[in-house]
Structure 1
Amino acid sequence: MNSNIPYSILELATVAKGETPKESFRKALNLAQKAEEAGYHRFWLAEHHNMKSIASSATSVLIGHIAGGTQKIRVGSGGVMLPNHSPLIVAEQFGTLGNLYPNRIDLGLGRAPGTDQTTAHAIRSDRMQSVYRFPDEVNQIQQYFAKNNEGARVRATVAEGVDVPLYILGSSTDSAHVAAKNGLPYAFASHFAPAQLMEALNIYYNEFQPSEQLQEPYTIACVNVIAADTNEEAEKVSTSLIKMMLGVMTNNIDYMQPPTEMTADLKELAMNPAFQRMLKYAFIGDKEHVKNKTEEFLKATQVNELMVVSHIYDHSDRIKSYLMFADIMKELESVNV
């Protein structure tokens, strides 16, 4: 297992039952501040639309809010769904962020819509053409950030020469080819799409071509973590995640629900094959259990960095889980040095 593995957070600004998006933004900033103190490497924000339970829709705006309220933690997009946007506008937005918060902004790019197809069409009616042009549009953004773009007819002057590293996000093998060909870091969404993780990593490693940004492959994998003092407490906290995933699978998305006792029905639901496939990398339990699962995952994947998402209703429980996970990563680092 690699030693000294950075650990990071993927945040969705989840809106819990009984609260407003404004409250979720306040909690997201508080989490980022706690994460910075606990040694987390980066704090990425996802892009989702038309979901009342997720408030991270204006991703670049929220990144500015988080970066402005922290000091050193890297802040970025996990990711910007590029087919929803003009590459020029993305470059201008993140060039602006890179100027405001030097050496702290990451630009993660994905090609999924981050929503349902009807909403995706409302965002950009020609987005499917952009999906097919994804590799070319990644190259466009790279050119907008290039120092030598002065002679171009179309420029993002606020981005030229600004240090905002690009990352390719994916939940299938398609994105692995793009990341490898462009010599960019690769982040895989194994927290909800674990099936092709190993195959995608193999493609990326085998096809990787060094670039100006990156000389050697760099991989990030995302996992679900719910850590608590006891396995029983973690299981109870996880009932909010089970209900949330049920809403996603049945297209009946609701606000994040408070936890309940783990009933027989919920346990049966959690053991459903579809749930098991989607949440293969959900580490739920006390510190020792989560530590063992994390170590197994890192040894199996050999990724360079681990990103964590924790869908937890109560903010104090969520902070506690993330702080416990930071302790776990520090313990694993000390063992593997």
Structure 2
Amino acid sequence: MLPDKPVNYSILDLAVVGQDISHAKVFENSVELAKEAESLGYKRFWLAEHHNMVSIASSATTVLMGHVAARTAKIRIGSGGIMLPNHSPLLVAEQFGTLGTLFPGRIDMGLGRAPGTDQVTAHAIRSDRMNSVFQFPHEIDEIRKYFKNDNSSTKVRATVAEGVDVPMYILGSSTDSAHVAAEKGLPYVFASHFAPSQLFEAMEIYYNNFQPSEYLEKPYSIAGINVIAANTNEEAEKISTSSLRMMVGVMTGNLDYLQKPVEMNDELRAVRDNPSLQRMLKYAFTGDKQMVKSKTVDFIKQTGVDEVIVASHIYDQKDRLRSFRIFSEIMEEVNCLTV
């Protein structure tokens, strides 16, 4: 049984740094993926903000957004997200106002309140960030005001942002941000690709409490999944060993570069089947086209989301491009049958 409505599909890229792969090559790979995504019908290409992680190169998120936007033509480029407590609302407005002017109708502003790093690094980024965490809803309002046209009498202005069309999205991995997105009438993006436990509760809060706004008449929801698709289940399983070892590093604090894939073995199967990792990877879909399609359709039906955003930690660029091609075929098939 298929979903009852067409569903948009997008990409979340962390500019993951693989073993023996330079940062320059990583950025080149992100551009290549964005171009491919554009040709395959993906709606948006978002870049995440993380810091002090050797395996992630998207730390200067808006800079990389501009780089990718300049090398693509129509796909929406956004932040998934900018971690607002790390930044001044004024500077965020100026940066996104500039991007929105350079690439009109193509820039998305996704905002979250997590640090995107460890607490020591978060303090190094902004020593008063905890005050900003509690001011998250207020700072969202600040940014929205900077984009208004009627700021001529305001003492502090982001003139480059005034009147620029840059849609705002609220990101979350718990129920807190669901309340914020609903109250402010904004689209809501849930990080179920790594924090699935509160997905359904958060979505229920968002839909039940949504207040229409000048930005959005009805709720719009996006949820994250991990996908590794290949020609066979065995091939996908082997490719997934890179991601599996990366996730273990995240959980144990032993962060390293994304490693080359190896044959699945008993030790890695035991790690994969660990209950903690299984909970984190509840929405990690690995396999051939039919396997991934079945799991994706179930996910869309269960959640009722308007859009899925896909993360894929794959070492080899050819394997990564192929995985996203397969996923686009899946979504085209699903959407053709729901029209």
Shorter-chain TM-score above 0.5: yes
Structure 1: 5+ residue stretches without partners: none
After superposition, the C-alpha distances for 1:280-333 in whole angstroms (9 at most, x for unaligned) are: 000000000000000000000000001000000000000000000000000001
CA distances 1:211-234 after superposition (whole Å, capped 9, x unpaired): 111000000001000000000000
The letter of the residue matching 2:241 is: T
Deviation string, structure 1 residues 189-213 (Cα, Å, up to 9, x no partner): 0000000000000000011001111
Determine helix, strand or coil for the equivalent of 1:194.
coil
2:209 matched residue in structure 1: 207
Alignment-mate amino acid for residue 27 of structure 2: F
Paired with 2:151 and 2:253, the residues of 1 have a C-alpha distance of 44
Paired with 2:110 and 2:148, the residues of 1 have a C-alpha distance of 17
1:63-142 to structure 2, matched below 5 A, reads 63-142=65-144
The structural deviation recorded for 1:334 is 1.3
Percent identity over the alignment is: 64
Q: Which residue of 1 aligns with 2:16?
A: 14
Aligned with 2:140: secondary structure? helix
Within 5 Å, give how 1:156-171 maps onto structure 2: 156-171=158-173
Q: Are 2:315 and 1:319 equivalent residues in the alignment?
A: no
| Corresponding residue number in structure 2 for 1:3 | 5
Aligned equivalents of 2:304, 2:66: Cα separation in 1: 32
SS in structure 2 opposite 1:65?
helix
What are the Cα deviations for residues 40-99 of structure 1, in whole angstroms up to 9, with x where unaligned? 000000000000110000000000000000000000000000000000000000000000
CA distance in 1, matches of 2:243, 2:19: 13
| Whole-angstrom CA distance in 2 between matches of 1:257 and 1:161 | 45
C-alpha distance in 1, partners of 2:262/2:271?
Answer: 14
One-letter amino acid of the counterpart of residue 57, structure 2: A
Q: Which residue of 1 aligns with 2:182?
A: 180
Cα deviation for residue 146 of structure 1 reads: 1.1
User: What is the rounded CA distance, in whole Å, between the counterparts of 1:290 and 1:151 in structure 2?
Assistant: 54
The 2-side partners of 1:16 and 1:207 are apart by 42
2:80 aligns to what SS in structure 1?
Answer: strand
TM-score with structure 2 setting the length: 0.99
2:285 alignment partner, SS class: strand
- Which residue is 2:32 aligned to? 30
Tell me the alpha carbon deviations over residues 228-256 of structure 1, each in whole angstroms, 9 at most, x when there is no partner.
00000000000001100000001011000
Partners of 1:2 and 1:45 lie apart in 2 by: 29
Q: Secondary structure at the match of 1:238?
A: helix
Q: CA deviation at 1:149?
A: 1.8
Match of 1:262 in 2: 264
Counterpart amino acid of 2:239? V
- Kept in 2, the 8 Å contact 1:2–1:304? The answer is no
SS at match of 2:163: coil
Please name the residue that 1:234 is paired with.
Answer: 236
For this pair of structures, how many residues does the alignment match?
337
CA distance in 2 between partners of 1:336 and 1:2 (Å): 6
The 3-state SS of whatever aligns with 1:49 is coil
Q: 1: distance between equivalents of 2:244 and 2:72?
A: 32
SS in 2 for 1:267: helix
Q: 1:160 to 1:212 in 2, by over 3 A?
A: same
- CA distance in 2: counterparts of 1:147 and 1:212, whole angstroms: 14
Q: By how many angstroms is 1:4 displaced?
A: 2.1
CA distance in 2, matches of 1:173, 1:229: 37
**Counterpart in the other structure of 1:250:** 252
Amino acid at match of 1:278: M
Distance 2:152 2:20 in 1: 51
Distance 2:155 2:185 in 1: 26
Query: For the Cα contact (< 8 Å) 1:40–1:326, is it kept in 2?
Result: yes
Amino acid at match of 2:270: E
Q: Which amino acid aligns with 1:219?
A: S
Counterparts of 2:5 and 2:174, CA distance in 1: 27
What secondary structure sits across from 1:184 in the alignment? coil
Take 1:325 and 1:151, find their aligned partners in 2: how far apart are those partners? 50
2:152 matched residue in structure 1: 150
Q: CA deviation at 1:3?
A: 2.3
1:155 partner amino acid: R
Amino acid at match of 1:268: A
Give the C-alpha shift of residue 148 in structure 1.
1.6
Asked if 2 retains the 8 angstrom alpha-carbon contact of 1:234 and 1:284, the reply is yes
**TM-score, normalised via structure 1 length:** 0.99
